[in-house]
Amino acid sequence: MQWVEGLLWLDGPTPHGILNQWLTVALIPLALLVQAWGPLFGSTFDRPVRSRRFLFYGLLILGLSVVMAARMFYQPVHTQITPEGHLNWYSPQNPPVFVAWAYGLWALVIGAPFLLWWRPFWQGLLIVAWGWVWALLSFLFTDSAASHWCFFVTFYAAFVLVYSFLVPDQPARDSPPTESGRAK
C-alpha cells in the first residue's frame, strides 16, 4: 500500500490525472487485498490449509468481499488530498467518512491470521495490537483514517522480519530425521 501511496504522491496527486485514476481504480484495491491476503497466505508456510480450510477460505472470501463492496459502494475514481494533508483514495467525499463497523471488520480481517495461527498467541496479539491501536487512533483523530493507518500497518512486516532473525528455526516434530540426524 505504501508503494501505491508513494506513486500517488509523486503524481501530486493530480486531480483527475490519468496516473491518479489508474492507481486509485486498479492498484489501490490490489494493495488492499494484499493487506488482507498477505498474512493469510503467509500462514500457509507454517500450517497446511487442509486442516483449517473453511476458516481459511472464509477469510479469503471475506477480504475480497470487503474490498469489492467498498469499491462498488463508494466508487472513487481518483485520489484527493484531505484538509489535514492525508490521501483519500477511499471515497469521493472529502474528507472521507468511515463506517465504524466496516473499519473494524477490515481490521479484524487483517489481524485474524495472526490471532488464529501465530503461536505463541501473545506474539500474534502483540503484532496485531500495534495495528489495531493505530487503526483506532487514526479513526478518532485524523480525517483519512485508512491512509493514516496504512502507514503503521506496514510495520507488521517489520515486526515479523525482526522476529525471524531473533528466533532460530525449529524442526517440525513429525519430520523424519535425515542422515545427519537432524530433521529437515
pLDDT tens-digit series, residues 9-61: 888 888 778 888 888 888 888 888 888 888 888 888 878 888 888 999 999 99
| Domain assignment present for 156 | yes
- pTM, full prediction: 0.74
pLDDT, one tens digit per residue, over 75-104 is 888 888 889 888 888 788 888 888 888 888
Within 10 A of 35 (CB to CB), how many other CB atoms are there?
20
CA distance 73 to 113: 26
| Domain assignment present for 172 | no
DSSP character at residue 61: H
| Domain assignment present for 13 | yes
Contacts of 83 (CB under 8 A, 6+ apart): 94, 95, 143
| Domain assignment present for 113 | yes
Q: Among candidates 107, 77, 101, 100, which has minimal Cα distance to 89? A: 77
Position 150 scores a pLDDT of 72
Q: What is the count of structural domains for the chain?
A: 1
| Domain assignment present for 179 | no
Domain that holds residue 34: 2-166
| Domain assignment present for 39 | yes
